[in-house]
Amino acid sequence: MALIGSALIIASCQDTANERKDMNAVADQQSVIDTIPTRSNTSTTGMGDSSVHRYINLNTGEPVDLYYDPKARKTYSVVTNEPIEFYIDMNTGDTVYGQGRYIVNNFISKSDAGAFKLNADKIKMDKDEIKIKEGNKKFKIDNSNMKLKDGDMKMKADTVNGKIKTDDMKKKMEGNRSKTKS
């Protein structure tokens, strides 16, 4: 279940190349991660009152003010202009991968040198693709398409259509219509 919850969080936060055209209503209404301002609307002092920090750089443990560059798909420090690979959102307690703003709770590991990295046994990321494996569960997002497999349950979805299949049920959603077979 932790994988499914993480998958849904990641799916709701994914930033695609066609973000403005393809974003669904849920992502428009509820992404805590999307509250990071872009560089054009960030002041030189960051995100307002510097005594209340919303983000912590995971590698340094220090508070950091952030902005997100959607073209580069990276999160940067307002002060240093350096990319931030992992940070903690203090409002939610989530660990976030700065490249694409994916929530990666339980999917990172610490190297012997002390640096954090994505756990290659559990998660793989490429430009517009993310794959997560945990036991017999698999999750994949590729551009605006999502696939999830958990035991006998399979689910596919894009920004408009979706399918769910279990041993005893099939459901197909197209736009505002849905059809279920038992």
Residue spans per domain, the chain: 2-151
Token pair, residue 171, equals 């459901």
Amino acid type, 44? T
Cα(5)–Cα(103) distance, integer angstroms: 11
Cα(6)–Cα(102) distance, integer angstroms: 10
Q: Is pLDDT larger for residue 144 or for residue 157?
A: 157
- Number of neighbours of residue 154 by Cβ within 10 angstroms: 15
Per residue in 79-133, pLDDT (tens digit) is 999 999 999 999 999 999 888 787 888 888 888 888 888 888 888 877 778 888 8
Q: Has residue 159 got a pLDDT over 70?
A: yes
pLDDT of residue 40: 53
Cα(118)–Cα(116) distance, integer angstroms: 7
Instruction: Give Rg (Cα) of the chain.
Output: 18
- Number of neighbours of residue 77 by Cβ within 10 angstroms: 20
Non-local (6+) Cβ contacts of 177 within 8 A are none
Q: Has residue 2 got a pLDDT over 80?
A: no
